[in-house]
Structure 1
Amino acid sequence: MHKRETSKIILITLGVLAVIVINAWIIVTQKPDILEVPETEQAEKPVPDFAAIKNVSEKKRAFFRYLRPEVEKQNEYLLSLRHYVQTLRRQLSSEGRLNSEDLRRVAWLSEEYKIDDEQDLDDKLQELLTKIDILPVNLVLAQAANESAWGTSRFAQKGYNFFGMWCFKRGCGFVPAQRSDGASHEVARFDNLSRATYTYLRNINRHPAYHDLRQIRATLRANQMPITGQALAEGLMNYSERGAAYVEELQSMMQFNQEYLSE
């Protein structure tokens, strides 16, 4: 009797182990969902001490080399999402419907990019195509350099925030030293560089303040013209209180640092 019970326990244990192994294999081999935001290998590594690099040219090169792979990775992600939405539009046109999994993804994207839920499905997909698109690498890098003082700001060094992004929940970031009386905003803190870069791109792609940038980009695409940093910078008038002067500064930075931006 004792031997039978022991045998049963062994068989049950083996069965449980088999289930665990099979489930682990499924999890490992399962294709990542299209909505999963990618992270680079360097995403969680400490930000380089750019202030310690005294040679200006070397500092600029180090700064752009650090950020470029991240910007390119997130742009690739945006293009993959864009291709997916284009595929859905063609499918909706030919079949008149989408399956439940695709509808779930559309619902997530619609919330992520602030799409009006009252629109019909085709209009949602069309608006998603306007919002889900790349930003020129040179524009992103120039803006990061401008907002973070070439990566030396404490917000960049301690919170991966190279773009001066704000948040409004107590404890969500750093309290600015010169915050006005009565103001409640903080400068956002991020867990890693990938999440920070994704959030910046999403902000530009969905916030009403940058509607003009998205229209410039859509017009360039419609006319099969290059999407350039110089052109899209015109749509960042609302990113800074300085308005036109801020846009001109970004454009000058892209022009002046072209040597480093093209490396």
Structure 2
Amino acid sequence: MKRIILPGLLAALVVACEQSPEQQAQSQNLPPLHEIENVQQKKQTFTDFITPLIEASNSKILQQRSDVEAINAKLIAGSVLSNKQKQTLSELSELYRVEQSLDEKAQVQQLLVKVDLIPPALVLAQAANESAWGTSRFAREGNNLFGQWCYKKGCGLVPLNRNDGANHEVRKFDSVYESVSVYMNNLNSHPAYKGFQQQRNQARASGELNAIELATQLSSYSERGQAYVEELQQMMRVNQKLWPTRTPIIAG
């Protein structure tokens, strides 16, 4: 039997093939998880949806790290950076909150600590925890899976239980992928997560990252502190079949 592909479908397939993983990730809409009653089905759907977004974001981060490593190799060799490399160094230092008044070698050493992948199990646990498995109002209306705040009026959704005098909103994103990408950059760049960045860097020598161990460095993410960390760790243990907690990593 001859298979017939409609012109519209063929065009869509061609476009999908031409898109980069990041472009494909940006086009993915959150599935109606609030309509799924079966708990295991909801968890599986949630995981299947978010995992490619995490992979796309980690892939972008590792490409940035490759650029930093190339710059580092050139500096070690005593060579002068090209204009393009200087621009890349400047852009990455700004993105990862590295002081650009430092000399090039110092900027690179800080970037090598900050610019690195985040274990998918940890991302999934925080996303599930902060968004009630993708069913929260902020997830459904604002594509926000991680509870990120913003402070400019109209930048997001006003929490229904916001305290009097508070001016924060829960940020709205154009896509779920943007929420994932911004969250991962936050962990990689914010001074509050310096311990996370350093522990991950030290773990590189072992050849893998342990998401449960790295979670110990995220007490600053929530007002609940250590209780929040323990909740994330328990979520990862319970869902270990869905979320492998050890991530292989190539030592640099």
**TM-score (normalizing by structure 1):** 0.82
- The residue that corresponds to 1:44 in the other structure is 27
Q: Sort the Cα spacing of 1:261 and 1:40 in 2 relative to 1 into closer, same or farther, 3 A.
A: farther
- The residue that corresponds to 2:141 in the other structure is 158
CA distance in 1, matches of 2:109, 2:184: 19
1:253 equivalent in alignment to 2:231: no
- The residue that corresponds to 2:39 in the other structure is 56
DSSP-derived class of the 1:187 partner? strand
1:239 equivalent in alignment to 2:221: yes
Q: RMSD of aligned C-alpha atoms?
A: 1.4
**Counterpart amino acid of residue 184 in structure 1:** N
1:44: how far off? 3.1
- The residue that corresponds to 1:19 in the other structure is none
Contact persistence 2:93–2:100 (CA under 8 A): yes
DSSP-derived class of the 2:186 partner? helix
Contact persistence 1:230–1:251 (CA under 8 A): yes
In the TM superposition, what whole-angstrom CA distance separates every residue of 1:4-39 from its partner, at most 9, and x where no partner exists? xxxxxxxxxxxxxxxxxxxxxxxxxxxxxxxxx962
Contact persistence 1:142–1:254 (CA under 8 A): yes
1:40: how far off? 4.2
CA distance in 2, matches of 1:86, 1:243: 34
Contact persistence 1:40–1:194 (CA under 8 A): no
- The residue that corresponds to 1:182 in the other structure is 165
Give unmatched runs, 5+ long, in structure 2.
1-19, 245-252
**Counterpart amino acid of residue 161 in structure 1:** N
DSSP-derived class of the 1:179 partner? coil
DSSP-derived class of the 1:39 partner? helix
Contact persistence 2:25–2:56 (CA under 8 A): no
1:139 equivalent in alignment to 2:90: no
CA distance in 2, matches of 1:248, 1:234: 8
- The residue that corresponds to 1:71 in the other structure is 54
1:105: how far off? 1.2
**Counterpart amino acid of residue 148 in structure 1:** S
CA distance in 1, matches of 2:195, 2:21: 27
**Which stretches of structure 1, 4 residues or more, deviate above 4 A after TM superposition?**
none
1:225: how far off? 4.1
- The residue that corresponds to 2:81 in the other structure is 98
Contact persistence 1:39–1:195 (CA under 8 A): no
1:46: how far off? 3.0
**Counterpart amino acid of residue 77 in structure 2:** S
1:91: how far off? 0.9
